[in-house]
A and B are shown apart, each in its own frame.
Chain A
Amino acid sequence: DAMVIQNPRYQVTQFGKPVTLSCSQTLNHNVMYWYQQKSSQAPKLLFHYYDKDFNNEADTPDNFQSRRPNTSFCFLDIRSPGLGDAAMYLCATMISPGVTDTQYFGPGTRLTVL
């Protein structure tokens, strides 16, 4: 089945130790998003790629960066994780232009910072 895959599902890192989260998709969608969802809070968009064009949200900390080496893969790099970065990180994809512009989410990576 076509899907959005995130690895790892659970990631534990130490304060200040860089970490990379991975997202891959078999949907061949041209738009990919990264959201941060803290406990009992709404998902918050960090940035997205429209094709190869990177779009950063104004309030996304510089600590967060992203790479998209090809259509299928997208990475979230956290350069120096702080305790406040512990959250679920959700990857989503969308095809644009499309009939419904629906975003499809992966299962998420839960990040713990010790």
Chain B
Amino acid sequence: QKEVEQDPGPLSVPEGAIVSLNCTYSNSAFQYFMWYRQYSRKGPELLMYTYSSGNKEDGRFTAQVDKSSKYISLFIRDSQPSDSATYLCAMRFAGGTSYGKLTFGQGTILTVHP
């Protein structure tokens, strides 16, 4: 079983749709949760960063963390063609010897068509 499971998609939605992306994880010690966006042939770019459980909103993006269910989500409102990319969830422990090591999901390929 992978530590972090993410549906690879691909996911195709019309412009303006609400997109829901999800990851589940198995290790309850993860404390920091992130969503990265990766355009084709580019490096990942941090979108959202959340510590422990709760919601965080930034413009059209909302990140949710439910530690009791080991489940995190990213919602994109009013999706745009420019949102077309691969979305990677990532998480890490607090402290430890592999400081800052991120464990990534496989990534979900999202296409928003006009």
Q: Flag B83-114 by CB within 8 Å of A: 1 or 0 each.
A: 00000100000000111111111110000000
Chain A 72-110 interface residues, beta-carbon cutoff 8 Å to B: 90, 92, 94, 96, 100-108, 110
Residues in B with CB closer than 8 Å to A55 are 97-99
Cβ of B11 to closest chain A Cβ, rounded Å = 14
Identify which of A11-19, A43-51, A62-70 touches chain B: A43-51
Are B106 and A40 in contact (CB-based, < 8 A)? yes
Identify which of B40-48, B60-68, B70-78 touches chain A: B40-48
Report how far A96 CA is from B92 CA in the complex, Å: 14
Q: Does B30 count as interface, using CB distance less than 8 angstroms? A: no
Task: Check A4/B43 contact, CB under 8 A, given A41-B106, A42-B106, A101-B32.
Answer: yes
Q: How many contacts A-B (CB < 8 Å)?
A: 64
Are A90 and B44 in contact (CB-based, < 8 A)? yes
Are A108 and B43 in contact (CB-based, < 8 A)? yes
Contact of B42 among A48, A94, A104, A108 (CB under 8 A): A108
Chain B CB within 10 Å, residue with most, of A31, A42, A96: A42
Residues in B with CB closer than 8 Å to A102 are 34, 46, 49
Report how far A50 CA is from B6 CA in the complex, Å: 29
Are B98 and A105 in contact (CB-based, < 8 A)? no
Are A43 and B99 in contact (CB-based, < 8 A)? no
Q: Does B4 count as interface, using CB distance less than 8 angstroms? A: yes
Task: Check A42/B100 contact, CB under 8 A, given A90-B44, A103-B46, A105-B44.
Answer: no
Are A42 and B97 in contact (CB-based, < 8 A)? no
Residues in B with CB closer than 8 Å to A31 are 99-100
Task: Check A43/B88 contact, CB under 8 A, given A105-B43, A110-B41.
Answer: yes
Residues in A with CB closer than 8 Å to B34 are 102
Residues in B with CB closer than 8 Å to A33 are 100-101
Are A42 and B49 in contact (CB-based, < 8 A)? no
Are A57 and B98 in contact (CB-based, < 8 A)? yes
Query: Can you sample 15 A-B contacts with CB below 8 Å?
Result: A31-B99, A31-B100, A41-B106, A43-B44, A45-B101, A50-B99, A55-B98, A57-B101, A101-B100, A102-B49, A103-B100, A104-B46, A105-B36, A105-B43, A105-B45
